[in-house]
Structure 1
């Protein structure tokens, strides 16, 4: 059975969030999108995110909506094919309004750095040496 990872993220401004992630190279599938949500393709066929306006996201839950700039529940970690890809995606994220909560970490066999997107969600990008 082919499994996909699909996670939902509340966003304050859907168009602004779409522009931010498009600048990082992610694409969107209009077939699964609306005025309240956008299907973001991270890794075709395996990893996707549904960016949802905060009111729409709130309509699907029965608890208060966490404010990612104030507290975090999860760090979304994506693997990269090289150190250069980590650095490139971080640079694009920062150029489009993200912040980096810590400097890159180089462990020799593993290299990573994270960013906080424009809504406060934490992302970590990691490259691991093939022999590791």
Structure 2
């Protein structure tokens, strides 16, 4: 199974620069002047779409929120280590992301950042066996 997460953006070119800078690969098959797709990992894709184009994909008639003002989603994904989480967040910060404080629960380590449009991402690492038993 694959997953495509779609988020609205105000400037597709800026988003292309941002997500390329954090190390995600542009997927030309799903990229146009209205949006761009990025490979996060095998079977995991992010699609950034200009707001008007994104609105056309949501046919329910719902009002499109502004991710800079309203929390639309927390896009969480696991990485193989704490160091990998820190490295990704460092690249995001260098590319212009706004960062959240670190959440370190011992068995789980999580960081958060907002892209330039305010879409929220939460890379994390967790012990494969989960939290310790009481």
Calculate the TM-score normalised by the size of structure 2: 0.90
**In 2, distance between residues paired with 1:55 and 1:27?**
24
Deviation at 1:74, TM superposition (A): 1.0
For the aligned residue pairs, the C-alpha RMSD in angstroms reads 1.2
Deviation at 1:19, TM superposition (A): 0.7
Deviation at 1:60, TM superposition (A): 2.4
**In 1, distance between residues paired with 2:108 and 2:63?**
37
Deviation at 1:131, TM superposition (A): 3.5
Unpaired runs of at least 5, structure 2: none
Please name the residue that 2:20 is paired with. Answer: 22
**Equivalent position SS for 2:45:** strand
Please name the residue that 1:110 is paired with. Answer: 108
Q: Deviations over 1:27-50 (max 9, x none)?
A: 111122111011111112x11121
Please name the residue that 1:38 is paired with. Answer: 36
Calculate the TM-score normalised by the size of structure 1: 0.91
Unpaired runs of at least 5, structure 1: none
For residue 45 of structure 2, the aligned residue among 39, 48, 52 is: 48
Deviation at 1:73, TM superposition (A): 2.4
Please name the residue that 1:128 is paired with. Answer: 126
